[in-house]
Chain A
């Protein structure tokens, strides 16, 4: 949506299995983000990447891993170490500043709903 693709929309996995969520963007944005949203909750930052080959942990990185080998792609792996992985996962990019001292808006993908059985 809006140049950000997340697939699949719904994902089911058995407990103990690793799973990788895809996020692709064609907006040519440098910074990308992964958020987790639980029912009725806000957005919590898992990982973010300012530029290719660089990424930083967010507030809830434990049990997750990422890579940023290409500008367009920022896949998230939910490992078996994540104790409660069932959630809605949102990928986002950060748009460029158009004015000096202005800040950027985030563009979100449609999300992936992960259910671990």
Chain B
């Protein structure tokens, strides 16, 4: 099945440090979404990016969509223990209702 590698797969940071995860596609995307899954929980939608070069912020989270619409990143400034979880990117497959999810980046924050 199709899956997209996210980088890194795991990241351990000290509380207060920054964190970034990257999502790369070999094809141009119509849009990209980001989800967060807390340990033992289910994925929850964070944001959707649609435009080339788009940057959106949610408090300490900054989301970017590449100029070529083939990659995206999620950056967390000054991580907190509440940021712990797995972050997934996802996008619709070629104009269908099918969605492709990245393999996820698991973030652990050490207090």
> Do the two chains belong together in a single complex?
yes
A residues contacting B by CB (< 8 A) are 1, 31, 33, 35, 40-45, 48, 50, 56, 58-60, 90, 94, 101-103, 105-111
Range, interface on chain B? 20 to 34
Q: Are B1 and A44 in contact (CB under 8 A)?
A: yes
Q: Chain B residues near A101 (CB, 8 Å)?
A: 50
The smallest C-beta distance from B34 to any residue of chain A, in angstroms, reads 10
B residues contacting A by CB (< 8 A) are 1-3, 30-31, 33, 35, 41-45, 48, 50, 88, 90, 92, 97-104, 106
Partner of A103, one of B2, B31, B88: B31
Q: Are A105 and B45 in contact (CB under 8 A)?
A: yes
9 A-B pairs closest in CB distance: A59-B1, A105-B45, A43-B101, A42-B103, A108-B42, A42-B104, A103-B31, A50-B97, A42-B101
The smallest C-beta distance from A22 to any residue of chain B, in angstroms, reads 15
Check A59/B2 contact, CB under 8 A, given A42-B88, A111-B42. Answer: yes
Q: Chain A residues near B92 (CB, 8 Å)?
A: 103
Partner of A105, one of B33, B104, B106: B33
Q: Are B98 and A109 in contact (CB under 8 A)?
A: no
Q: Are A48 and B101 in contact (CB under 8 A)?
A: no
Total inter-chain residue pairs, C-beta < 8 Å: 64
With A42-B102, A45-B100, A103-B92 known, 11 other A-B pairs at CB within 8 A are: A41-B104, A43-B101, A45-B1, A58-B1, A59-B1, A94-B97, A103-B48, A105-B33, A106-B90, A110-B42, A111-B42
- Per the bound structure, the CA–CA distance linking A103 and B92 in Å amounts to 9
- Per the bound structure, the CA–CA distance linking A64 and B23 in Å amounts to 29
Q: Chain B residues near A41 (CB, 8 Å)?
A: 103-104
Partner of B30, one of A1, A42, A103: A103
Select from chain A the residue with minimum beta-carbon distance to B45. Answer: A105
- Per the bound structure, the CA–CA distance linking A111 and B44 in Å amounts to 12
Check A109/B42 contact, CB under 8 A, given A42-B103, A102-B50, A103-B50. Answer: yes
